[in-house]
Structure 1
Amino acid sequence: MANNVGIGTRVKHPTYGEGVIFRQDLVYYHIMFPGKGAVEIAKNYDGLEVIEAVNQDESYITREYLENIIRQTIEEYTDIITPVPLGNKWMKGKLILQPSDEQLKPKEIPVEVFFHKIVMLRDRLRVLEQKINSHKGLSEEEKIDLQQYITRCYGSLTTFNVLFRDKKDWFVGEGDG
């Protein structure tokens, strides 16, 4: 790999996969690999392939830009939960599960707790989606088939869209969009 590549260059490593150079010194490239974290790789290592080069002269970026790139990468490749606001009318509300048998006690769940579980489910479906898309052992047809199941799961969850404050956070199923 050429030593004149700069910060922001996309590279491929035979073990770690695709990553982005976020810092370099005289001897090492510091590369962020999704799912693997930051790794130091010697500049003279021959196994590193450039996917999209950024010249060293063009590689000066702002802290804000770098923070946005890192945040997007973390959101895309991890199961860290992104804060999603609950609709105001549901704050301090209760979900009450009332059995038909009057002798049995109803179950009350704070809406915030229930909503948090719905958001976690959605985030885990997104991680599953990413893992399917990047899986090397699945054919494109198998990936599409599994994607359709995930889309149907989203469709089954559209009932809970009433809990979300922002429409951009809604579940979207097959016919939604």
Structure 2
Amino acid sequence: MTLDQFVDTVVTWTRDHQAWAPALAFGFAFGESLVVLSLVVPGSLVLAAVGALIGAGGVELWPVWLGAASGSVIGGWISYRIGDHYEERVVNVWPFNRYPEKMAAAHRFFERWGSWSVFFTRFLGPLHGVGPLVAGAFGTPRLLFHVSNIASAMLWAFLVLAPAATAVRNLMPV
């Protein structure tokens, strides 16, 4: 099954089971925000397609937004806790030990941007879960992490859902 077919299947299922749209948004946002899993879960793509369903009517924006934001917050929090648990030793743990140059680059990015790295990486697709992991590994205080994690998750969820919803709503005949 291709990625397009997968997204089409998910959108069709969501259209047919609209009450489950917030849970689906939670699951895909969680998967895209959890370190390692974020490399394979096409959360933003699926959520943008669900945004188009919102624009077509029948699926409400705010419950889906809340589901996506919540899934993203929890995925980021777990990634942070993994980093916090392993600390700087995280670079020696599979699969991170296979990419020492990427982990070094992530550390440099974190050194430059601090807790903002959590905010910025939220918008970088597969790096979604890496920012929280690095923040945990290199000692970002919990309060700073949570503020950045929650704020970026709320904004990210809205920016993934709303443009497609608005575009479809504006393109539909009255």
- Structure holding more helix per residue: 2
Q: Relative CO higher for 1 or 2, CA cutoff 8 Å, sep ≥ 6? A: 2
TM-score (norm 2): 0.27
TM-score (norm 1): 0.27
Q: Which structure's CA Rg is the greater one? A: 1
